[in-house]
Structure formats: structure tokens, C-alpha cells
A and B are shown apart, each in its own frame.
Chain A
Amino acid sequence: MALRMWASSTANALRLSTCASKSPAFRAFSTVLDDLKYASSHEWVKHDGHVATIGITDHAQDHLGELVFVELPEPGKEVKQGTGFGAVESVKATSDVNSPISGEVIEINSKLADSPGLINTSPYEEGWMIKVKPSNPSDLANLMGSKDYIKFCEEEDAAAH
């Protein structure tokens, strides 16, 4: 993905949209999916019975830029809500990725080793990062739904210069 010129923060806030289907909207918008939960540090979690899938949001990947490296934990590692489990590297920066829920890592997305850009092109599907066996059902209550997350992103972008 070519290095992009950054839009103004206000314009970016206006580009947020929701999508009820699993497929992200057209790439011109930062997409938020209705069936996910969101952390204020811009990670998403999809709870599916005894397994939860985690990644970073479209808003996050858009602000980070082209990703060139992803650091993931080993299966079996415990993750804790709000604390880091790995990192992504864009051209000049490493950025921590924090777990939205607590639990045990049961699978990592091995495709990201060779194709870190999957997080940029498909942050909610092919760019998933880890799967976790949740240990605390009440963690979800601390997260935002899609509408609250959109509002959060708009307020964050509006506060920026």
C-alpha cells in the first residue's frame, strides 16, 4: 500500500460509517461493524461462544499507515483486558496492541508474518490477529458498541488539531 497523505482529522471523523454485514464498506470510509465490541485503544473483539477473535479497527489501521511487521504472542499465553499482547510496525513506528478482553491465546493469524498488510486491507476479516478463550464474561461490559465507538472516534478526531 503506497504511503498516503493524511486527511484532516475533521474530514476523517466525517468519513466514519457503520456496516451491519461482515463485509467492510468501500475503503474510502473508516468502517465500524455492528456485531463487534470496541476498546478505547481501537481494538475490536468478536465473541463467538467460547472463542473471541481480536484485531485492530479500520480507524486504527488508517491512522497507523502501511503496516510492515506484526508481533504476536505465542498460543497458550494469557492476555489481560487493557494490556498489551503484541505490536504492529508501520514505516517508522511500533505501536502496542492491547487486548480488549482477558483470556488465553489459542490461535494466532500466521498469515500476518508474511502479509502484515492484511490488517490494512481487511482489518475485520483476513487481518484478525489472535483468537482467545475468554476468562471473564464481564469484560464485554467494559467495551463499546458500534455507535458509541463511532462517537468516540469522532470526538477523538475533533479534539485533534
Chain B
Amino acid sequence: MAASQARKAGLPIINLLRVKGMPILQQLHLEERLLRTSSQNWCIINDGTTRPTIVMGVSGKAKELLETDAVLRDEIPVIRRFTGGGTVIVDQGTIFVTFICNKDAISGLQSYPRPIMSWSSLIYKNMFQGIGEFSLRENDYVIGNHKFGGNAQSITKNRWVHHTSFLWDYEISNMGYLKMPTRVPEYRQARNHAEFICRLKEYMSRSDFIDGTMDSVASHFALRSLDADDIQNSSSQFEPSSRILTRQELGEEASMELVGTVSQISYMAAISSTCPTSKIA
């Protein structure tokens, strides 16, 4: 124990919050609150979210990125998150790992997108030795040339957040809600979603991935494990910006105004009713 404590000397402290099934909107609100109001470093691991949910980047346009008729028909929630980047559809098969750090937390790391992205890949690199050809390809985590993890960031004056959604498993039918984006990485080479992405579960078990991630984080930081009760709403005045888009924002016709009002109420009720209490892993 004394040896490990000595090893931790000099490493930055990070609060580790491990949860299971936290709704993605709740996770995003927590992340933004910690980014803007906390002065500590955080690692959040959320093992799967609840219902399938589409999450767009801060400037995403629904009509350009989504098959909005199908999204509206099937009442898939669409969230605009506070970080940049592209569009994902997340569900119980998605594992989320988030780092929220002070800009001087990691020695020699500049608080810009590319250095943070490169540093983040170091967390996972060793986990795939002998398992798969892991690399950071442009801004994606890939095995070979198949993407299994998408990244996004938000950088403030003194802090940054880097979060990743890992495709441990996914429903190929859900990818049908997403259009081929106009801005794609060069290595994608016009492949459709099914040809472009891969399932992490084909390479390692869910628990091995999460445990391996925690072990890796522990080699870069001095871990302090917390649970959700430790961080409940200490800054109640903060208003997060990530939100669910309305049906009108998804392009529902204005002529359907009365029907739309009723459907919006039932749509929001349906989304709200499927937010079970998140479980601490």
C-alpha cells in the first residue's frame, strides 16, 4: 500500500464516478456543470444509457444530419449537446467515458483539441495490445480502420472536457436514423455506417473494457472514487445548455400546430418517463 501511495505521489488527483444506465441528458448536464463550476478533475464512466437517443453536436442541424421523418415517427429523442463534433445514436450498448480536467492538470499538455485528443488515446492504447490494432485515426478511436469510439470536446479558459461514446454494441437498425454526414473523416472513404463502425464486444468483454479503463486511468492519475450522492446539485444556479429538441425543431410542419402541441406534450412525457434512477456500478 505504501508503495502504491508513493507511486501516486506527483500524479494529479481525479475524482472517479462510475455509474450504470444514467440517462444521457443527465450525464451531459452533470458534465457541463462540473466543467463550468468545479475546480477538480473528474472521470465519469457511464455503463450504458437508457432508451436509444440521438445526440448531435453543438452546431448540428437536424434536417441535414437525421432522417427526421423516421425520428419523429418513432419518437426518438434528439439532444443537442454542449460539445462539438458529430452525431451519434446511443443506447444500452454504449459505454461513455469522460474526462473533465483543469488545463494544467497534465504536465505538458496544451489545452487545444488535438493535444487533448492525442493524450486521450494513451488511456486506451495498452488495453488492446494483442487484441486488436487500436489507434487514433483523425479524431476517432479505431480498430484497424473501423471506428468504435467517437470523441468530442469543450474547452474553456481554464478547463476542458473530453468525452467518448464507445460502441460496445449497437443495433444496426438504429443507424438508419442518421444520414451520411457531409463532413466525414478521410479514412471513412464513403463507407456507410455498417461498413465504417465495429462493435467493441467482438474484442473484449464489457467488464474487461471498463475495468481496463479504470486501471489505465489509475496509472495516469491518483484516483478518488465518488458516488452520485457526493455530487448532487451543489451548484443549483447553473443552467446547462444541452437539451432535447422539440418536434418543431425537428421539422414537424407548422400547419400541424394544434396536433403538434398535443404530440409535443406526449413526446416529452414519453421521454421523461423513461429515465430510470441511474445505478451506481
Contacts and interface: CB of A to CB of B under 8 A. Distances in A.
A156 interface: yes
Contacts of B112: 63-64
A78 B13 CA distance: 37
Contacts of B145: none
A135 interface: no
Nearest to A2: B186
B110 A160 contact: yes
Nearest to B138: A3
Contacts of A82: 157
A93 B109 contact: no
Given A65-B114, A69-B59, A98-B157, A93 B84 contact: yes
Count class of interface residues, chain B: 20 to 34
A65 B185 CA distance: 14
B139 interface: yes
A-B CB proximity, top 5 nearest: A93-B153, A69-B59, A161-B108, A93-B113, A92-B85
Contacts of B86: 92
B156 interface: yes
Contacts of B183: 68, 91
Nearest to A161: B108
Interface in B77-121: 82-86, 108-110, 112-117
Interface string B180-223: 00010010000000000000000000000000000000000000
Contacts of B116: 93
A41 interface: yes
A82 B158 CA distance: 11
Contacts, number: 80
Contacts of A68: 59, 84, 183
Given A92-B85, A93-B116, A94-B82, 15 more contacts: A63-B110, A65-B113, A68-B84, A69-B58, A71-B58, A91-B85, A91-B139, A91-B183, A92-B151, A93-B153, A98-B157, A159-B108, A160-B108, A160-B109, A160-B115
A91 B157 contact: no
A59 to B, nearest CB: 10
A28 B156 CA distance: 27
Interface of B: 57-59, 82-86, 108-110, 112-117, 138-139, 151-157, 183, 186
Contacts of A98: 157
Interface string A4-29: 00100100000000000000000000
Nearest to B59: A69
A76 interface: no
Given A3-B138, A6-B114, A65-B113, A89 B57 contact: yes
